[in-house]
């Protein structure tokens, strides 16, 4: 099958391309990029991309698709639909499932399930410790051989410094990255939001920024000592970002990610009647959000992730202190970044393509992130001028809540191509197991 995208603005930071051109995809690969590409056969699907932006398919290295064992929250099909609806062609799912993904058999089985879903490419992240209990290292080597993209005990901080150091030393020869959930547990027990004036006014226990800062610094020092790679998950504090900045200057192999919610929302908007704002790490202060953006802009923070964390609606529909943390973000992430940062002149489209596609592919050694001829035809076509309003009830994810529900957006993915197949067009899923 051939697809010819005509007259779009192609942005490919890997090849320093930003210009109006055509793109031809054939047999699942990018066959040509240039001006006035023509095809003789009638089977080629020609799509007018005038006034649209053609980007490498977006990549999200931090999602929770809840398989195995938590399919009431999400599964590879519903999560895959949410991904391609948002312009994502590759996502990596965290291992805090039931059972925990801590062995090679599970990795292999989940990779098969992901292929059956037949939507976005789904990478599997394995656990660092068995059962994510922080007591014994999981067989990361076996999981790496089975195709695990990275390792994480996300949702849990590994309390033992010795265990963390052993993990860094073990994984180093495999050239894989450990993604660390950074939060010193004794400082956050019982906390439900950022510790500050708003938590005091609401009369609820907070989670102080220092808990994250201490954990980030510890793991940077341990990775530096071991000569290993460390990736800071969903960074949320100004001090933590500065720790990463200073470590990079020293040559530490540290990278970091940030979510749209930690860039745009603050603890001032926490309302105990709306559990959509309960996330972990919590929404922080305006100063933290501004510092995070500065770190994203100067390259301290390498990638943007969603931390897509759906829960069953009945789980979130309870008192704030008892509700689980998280909300689905795959269908709003790009739009939030376009609305609040591109259209305000704070980030260019090239910068967004770097943070949401090229950098994650480079850091985690994944296919994608580029529109180079010969690369897989994983493509997002974006209408940057499309005005729309986010409606959680219309999401493809199983969970119908979001702090962005009702937000007026400007910009959205209107076509998603995975491996040369159109899987989403104008908001409608056109491929996959449930097309």
Omega prior to 101 cis, within 30 of 0: no
State how far the Cα of 322 lies from the Cα of 315, in Å rounded to an integer. 9
Q: Which residues contact 300 (CB under 8 A, 6 or more apart)?
A: 241, 244, 245, 248, 256
**Is residue 307 annotated as a catalytic residue, yes or no?**
yes
- Which one of 60, 307, 378, 383 is the catalytic residue? 307
Tokens of 47: 């799509």
Token pair 């005091």: residue: 200
Q: Which residues contact 112 (CB under 8 A, 6 or more apart)?
A: none
253: number of Cβ within 10 Å: 18
CB 405 within 8 A of CB 390: yes
Tokens of 59: 């990549």
State how far the Cα of 87 lies from the Cα of 386, in Å rounded to an integer. 14
State how far the Cα of 345 lies from the Cα of 125, in Å rounded to an integer. 35
Catalytic residue numbers, as ranges: 307
């Amino acid at each position: 099958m051939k697809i010819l995208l005509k007259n779009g603005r192609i942005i490919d930071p890997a090849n320093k391309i930003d210009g109006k051109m055509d793109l031809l995809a054939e047999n699942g690969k990018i066959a040509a990029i240039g001006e006035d590409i023509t095809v003789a056969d009638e089977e080629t699907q020609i799509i007018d991309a005038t006034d649209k932006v053609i980007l490498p398919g977006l990549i999200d290295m931090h999602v929770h698709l809840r398989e195995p064992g938590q399919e009431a929250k999400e599964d590879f099909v519903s999560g895959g639909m949410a991904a391609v609806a948002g312009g994502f062609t590759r996502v990596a799912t965290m291992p805090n499932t039931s059972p925990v993904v801590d062995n090679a058999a599970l990795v292999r089985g989940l990779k098969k399930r992901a292929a059956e879903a037949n939507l976005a490419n789904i990478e599997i992240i394995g656990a660092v410790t068995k059962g994510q209990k922080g007591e014994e290292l999981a067989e990361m080597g076996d999981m790496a051989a089975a195709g695990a993209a990275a390792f994480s005990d996300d949702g849990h901080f590994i309390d033992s410094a010795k265990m963390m150091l052993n993990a860094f030393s073990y994984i180093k020869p495999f050239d894989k990255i450990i993604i660390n959930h950074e939060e010193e547990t004794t400082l956050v027990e019982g906390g439900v939001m950022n510790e500050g004036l708003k938590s005091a006014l609401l009369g609820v226990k907070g989670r102080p920024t220092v808990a994250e800062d201490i954990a980030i610094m510890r793991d940077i020092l341990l990775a530096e000592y071991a000569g290993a790679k460390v990736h800071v998950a969903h960074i949320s504090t100004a001090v933590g970002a500065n720790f990463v900045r200073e470590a990079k200057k020293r040559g530490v192999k540290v990278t970091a990610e940030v979510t749209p919610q930690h860039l745009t929302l603050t603890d001032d908007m926490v309302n105990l009647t709306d559990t959509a704002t309960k996330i972990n790490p919590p929404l922080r202060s305006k100063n933290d959000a501004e510092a995070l953006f500065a770190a994203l802009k100067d390259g301290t923070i390498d990638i943007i992730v969603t931390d897509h964390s759906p829960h069953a609606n009945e789980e979130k529909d309870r008192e704030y202190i008892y509700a689980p943390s998280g909300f689905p973000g795959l269908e709003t992430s790009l739009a939030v970044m376009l609305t609040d940062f591109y259209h305000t002149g704070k980030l260019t489209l090239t910068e967004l393509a770097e943070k949401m596609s090229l950098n994650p592919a480079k850091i985690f050694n994944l296919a994608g992130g580029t529109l180079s001829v010969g690369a897989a035809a994983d493509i997002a076509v974006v209408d940057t001028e499309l005005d729309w309003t986010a409606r959680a009830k219309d999401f493809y994810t199983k969970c119908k809540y979001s702090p962005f529900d009702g937000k007026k957006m400007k910009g959205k993915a209107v076509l998603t191509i995975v491996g040369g197949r159109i899987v989403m067009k104008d908001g409608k899923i056109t491929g996959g197991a449930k097309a």
